[in-house]
């Protein structure tokens, strides 16, 4: 059972299509990456939809085990970012929501649109996707939750797709364990 149901991730539905891009680009629309305040991506998307501003917020399904129960949620692929396809007036309207910290202009809108279309195709295919946080060997990390929450260590190596080997130092000696990367956060 989802904590919150899946929300609209793009508006209008055809915002990622090539034909829509060219029609809107002729009217002065371009892509902007909006960096939001903490955890405001979905709220911003709802506000943009209500005001009719085209956007894309890629969301992936994630299932967690909380107190022995499976809980499903939908998380942004790029935490803190919503992509808006608007003219300058639309960009200003999005700033008026008071949910945006910074707007970043996209210099190659066609390339971004192509990348977003491919990402959307992957999401819509239903294959399991994992949001990667770019943890690499040598990164200092902390375990986010579970019985080992708060323990810090260093990523030693990546194995397979979503497994990490983490060193945890205790009394100047080391131990290691394999742990899912979604349980880790950079320190």
Structure tokens at 8: 């609209």
pLDDT at residue number 118: 83
| Residue 166 bridge partners (DSSP) | 155, 177
For residue 31, give the 3-state DSSP assignment.
Answer: strand
Q: What is the DSSP string of 94-154?
A: HHTTS-EEEEEE-S-HHHHHHHHHHHHHHHHHT----------TT-EEEE-SSTTTT-EEE
Task: Print pLDDT tens along the chain (187 aa).
Answer: 445 667 899 999 999 999 999 999 999 999 999 999 999 999 999 999 999 999 999 998 888 888 888 888 888 888 889 999 999 999 999 999 999 999 998 888 888 898 888 888 878 877 766 665 566 777 878 877 777 778 777 777 766 543 454 544 433 435 556 777 777 778 8
pLDDT value of residue 93: 97
DSSP SS3 for 36: strand
Contact 148, 141 (CB under 8 A): no
pLDDT computed for residue 173 by the predictor: 39
- What are the structural domains, with CATH classification, of the chain? 10-125 (3.30.70.940), 140-186 (2.30.30.30)
């Amino acid at each position: 059972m989802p904590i919150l149901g899946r929300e609209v991730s793009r508006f209008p539905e055809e915002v990622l299509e090539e034909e829509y891009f060219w029609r809107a680009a002729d009217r002065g629309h371009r892509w902007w990456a909006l960096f939001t305040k903490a955890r405001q991506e979905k709220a911003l998307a709802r506000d943009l939809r209500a005001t009719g501003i085209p956007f894309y917020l890629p969301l992936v399904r994630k299932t967690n085990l909380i107190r022995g129960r499976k809980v499903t949620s939908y998380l942004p692929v790029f935490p803190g970012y919503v992509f808006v396809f608007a003219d300058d007036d639309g960009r200003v309207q999005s700033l008026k929501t008071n949910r945006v910290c910074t707007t970043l202009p996209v210099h190659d809108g066609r390339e971004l649109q192509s990348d977003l279309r491919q990402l959307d195709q992957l999401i819509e295919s239903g294959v399991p996707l994992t949001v990667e946080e770019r943890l690499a060997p040598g990164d200092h990390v902390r375990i986010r939750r579970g019985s080992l929450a708060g323990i810090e260590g260093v990523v030693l190596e990546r194995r397979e797709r979503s497994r990490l080997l983490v060193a945890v130092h205790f009394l100047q000696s080391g131990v290691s364990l394999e742990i899912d990367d979604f349980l880790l956060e950079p320190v």
